[in-house]
């Protein structure tokens, strides 16, 4: 286990003192630096995991997205449905390899230990992300969060083959839409603590009893400060 600084330890203890029963974590930018979903997208195009026509379409589509011509939720959904026809085990293996090579070293140590200690305390910990379901599954193995506690951009899989039947894209209001039914056992269907870094986490943070803006982008930081939410910047080794 990584030896933490006093500041990192105090952050963890400040969360544990709240005795949360349910906690929800965004992933990219919150549990680690960088965007695993976007990173895998470019990596798989370069690796030829999908067909050449899909590669050409995906590069053009993403350029339109960056130009503001494609909505965030739509792009996140298409980054999953583009795998239609592939065997899920192949995509999962690719995500496992990508995350281990490209993202695992960027995990914030205090966030990893926070998740571990929350789970050890009996807290029901959820990962909520608009990245594809497979890369988030890969990531959560480093945090001990089981697959049935992952809410990510997801499509139906039939007999091991990926379809283009979109199930959910937890982004912005979509995070709340995914969380509420998942937390039906909770008295008020909302997390005690929520952690996020981007404007797309705003609704999830607002619904929680104790919102934490972690490594926040400038727009979320402005909202967090105005709303009196806790702002924490992880330490980078």
Written as one string, the DSSP assignment of 202-237 is: HHHHHHSSEEEEES--HHHHHHHHHHT-EEE-PPP-
Burial level of 140, CB count in 10 A (0-12/13-18/19+)? buried
Kindly compute the dihedral angle of the four CA atoms of residues 9, 121, 132, 215, in this order, to the nearest 10 degrees.
Answer: -20
Rounded Cα gap, residues 100 and 158, in angstroms:
27
Tell the residue number behind the tokens 């496992």, with chain if given: 96
Answer yes or no: is pLDDT of 186 > 80: no
**157 phi, psi to nearest 5 deg:** -120, 125
- Please give the share of the chain, as a percent, with pLDDT higher than 90: 93
What are the beta bridge partners of residue 23? 125, 193
Answer yes or no: is pLDDT of 44 > 90: yes
Do 139 and 27 form a contact (C-beta atoms < 8 A)? Answer: yes
What is the predicted pLDDT for the residue at 177? 92
Could you tell me the end-to-end alpha-carbon distance of the chain, in angstroms, rounded to an integer?
Answer: 14
Q: Which residues make Cβ contacts (< 8 Å) with residue 188, sequence separation at least 6?
A: none
Answer yes or no: is pLDDT of 189 > 90: no
Rounded Cα gap, residues 132 and 84, in angstroms:
13
**20 phi, psi to nearest 5 deg:** -65, 140
Do 216 and 29 form a contact (C-beta atoms < 8 A)? Answer: no
Do 178 and 194 form a contact (C-beta atoms < 8 A)? Answer: no
Answer yes or no: is pLDDT of 236 > 80: no
What is the predicted pLDDT for the residue at 182? 87
Instruction: Give the model confidence (pLDDT) of 60-76 as tens digits.
Output: 999 999 999 999 999 99
Rounded Cα gap, residues 1 and 195, in angstroms:
22
What is the predicted pLDDT for the residue at 237? 61
What is the predicted pLDDT for the residue at 2? 75
Do 15 and 57 form a contact (C-beta atoms < 8 A)? Answer: no
What is the predicted pLDDT for the residue at 18? 97
Of 36-50, 59-73, 180-194, 221-235, the one with minimum mean pLDDT is 180-194
What is the predicted pLDDT for the residue at 150? 97
The pLDDT mean for the chain works out to 95
Q: How confident is the model at residue 187 (pLDDT cuts 50, 70, 90)?
A: low
Answer yes or no: is pLDDT of 232 > 90: yes
Answer yes or no: is pLDDT of 173 > 70: yes
What is the predicted pLDDT for the residue at 184? 77
Domains delineated in the chain: 6-232 (3.40.50.1000)
Q: How confident is the model at residue 15 (pLDDT cuts 50, 70, 90)?
A: very high
What is the predicted pLDDT for the residue at 188? 76
Answer yes or no: is pLDDT of 42 > 90: yes
Answer yes or no: is pLDDT of 185 > 70: no
Instruction: Give the model confidence (pLDDT) of 135-166 as tens digits.
Output: 999 999 999 999 999 999 999 999 999 999 99
């Amino acid at each position: 286990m990584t030896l933490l600084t006093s500041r990192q330890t105090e952050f963890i203890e400040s969360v544990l003192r709240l005795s949360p029963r349910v906690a929800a974590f965004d992933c990219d930018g919150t549990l680690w630096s960088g965007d695993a979903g976007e990173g895998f997208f470019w990596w798989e195009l370069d690796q030829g995991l999908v067909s050449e026509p899909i590669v050409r379409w995906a590069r053009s589509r993403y350029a339109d997205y960056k130009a503001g011509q494609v909505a965030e939720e739509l792009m996140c959904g298409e980054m999953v449905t583009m795998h239609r026809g592939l065997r899920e085990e192949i995509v999962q293996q690719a995500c496992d390899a990508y995350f281990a090579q490209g993202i695992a070293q960027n995990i914030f140590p205090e966030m990893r230990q926070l998740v571990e200690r929350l789970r050890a305390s009996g807290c029901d910990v959820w990962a909520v992300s608009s990245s594809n379901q497979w890369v988030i599954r890969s990531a959560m193995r480093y945090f001990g969060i089981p697959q049935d506690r992952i809410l990510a951009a997801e499509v139906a899989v039939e007999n091991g083959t990926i379809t283009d039947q979109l199930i959910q894209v937890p982004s912005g209001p979509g995070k709340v839409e995914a969380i509420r039914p998942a937390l039906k056992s909770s008295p008020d269907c909302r997390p005690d603590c929520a952690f996020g870094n981007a404007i797309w986490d705003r609704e999830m943070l607002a619904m929680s009893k104790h919102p934490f803006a972690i490594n926040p982008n400038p727009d979320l930081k402005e909202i967090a400060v105005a709303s009196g939410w806790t702002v924490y910047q992880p330490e980078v080794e």
